Amino acid sequence: MSARILSLHIYPIKSCAGIDLSESPVDRAGLAYDRRWMLISADGQFMTQRQWPAMALIRTAITADALRVSAPGMADLEVPLDGSALLPGTESVEVWSDTISAQREGAEAGLWFSDFLKTPCRLYKVGAVAERTAKPDWVSRWLESHPDLAEPFAGSHHFGFADGFPLLVANQASLDDLNARLQAKGVAPVTMDRFRPNIVVEGEWEAFEEDQTAMITAAQVRMAFVKPCTRCSIPDIDQRTAQQSDEPGRTLAGYRNLAIGVVFGQNAILDAPAGARLKVGDGVEIELDF
pLDDT in tens, 166-200: 999 999 999 999 999 999 999 999 999 999 999 99
- Report helix, strand or coil for 138: helix
Q: Please give the distance of CA 272 from its chain centroid, rounded to a whole number.
A: 18
- Cα 221 versus chain centre, distance: 18
pLDDT in tens, 197-252: 999 999 999 999 999 999 999 999 999 999 999 999 999 999 999 999 999 999 99
> How far apart, in whole angstroms, are the C-alpha atoms of residue 201 and residue 13?
23
Identify the DSSP state of 85: T
What is residue 203's predicted lDDT score, i.e. its pLDDT?
97
Q: What is the pLDDT at residue 130? A: 64
| Residue 172 pLDDT | 98
**Exposed, middle or buried: residue 250 (CB in 10 Å: 0-12, 13-18, 19+)?**
middle
Domain extents for the chain? 3-33+132-288, 37-126
Q: Is the pLDDT of residue 4 over 80?
A: yes
Distance CA 158, CA 149 (A): 20
C-alpha to C-alpha distance for 81 and 15, rounded to whole angstroms: 19
Report the range of poorest mean pLDDT among 140-144, 159-163, 190-194.
159-163
Q: What is the pLDDT of residue 97?
A: 85
Euclidean distance between CA atoms 104 and 91, whole angstroms = 8
Q: What is the pLDDT averaged over residues 60-83?
A: 97
Q: Specify the fold of 3-33+132-288.
A: M1 Pyruvate Kinase; Domain 3 (2.40.33)
State residue 156's pLDDT score: 86
Q: Does the structure show a pLDDT above 80 at 128? A: no
Rounded Cα distance, 182 and 252, in Å = 9
CA dist list (Å): 23 to 10, 26, 29, 56: 11, 9, 16, 23
Q: What angle do CA 222, 227, 228 make, to 5 degrees?
A: 110
Q: What pLDDT is attached to residue 137?
A: 94
Confidence of residue 129 (pLDDT cuts 50, 70, 90): low
Cα 174 to Cα 196: distance, rounded to the nearest angstrom: 14
Nearest 10 degrees: Cα torsion 32, 33, 36, 39: -150
Examine the pLDDT at 152 and tell me if it is beyond 80.
yes
Compute the Cα dihedral for 233, 264, 283, 270 and give only its sign.
Answer: positive
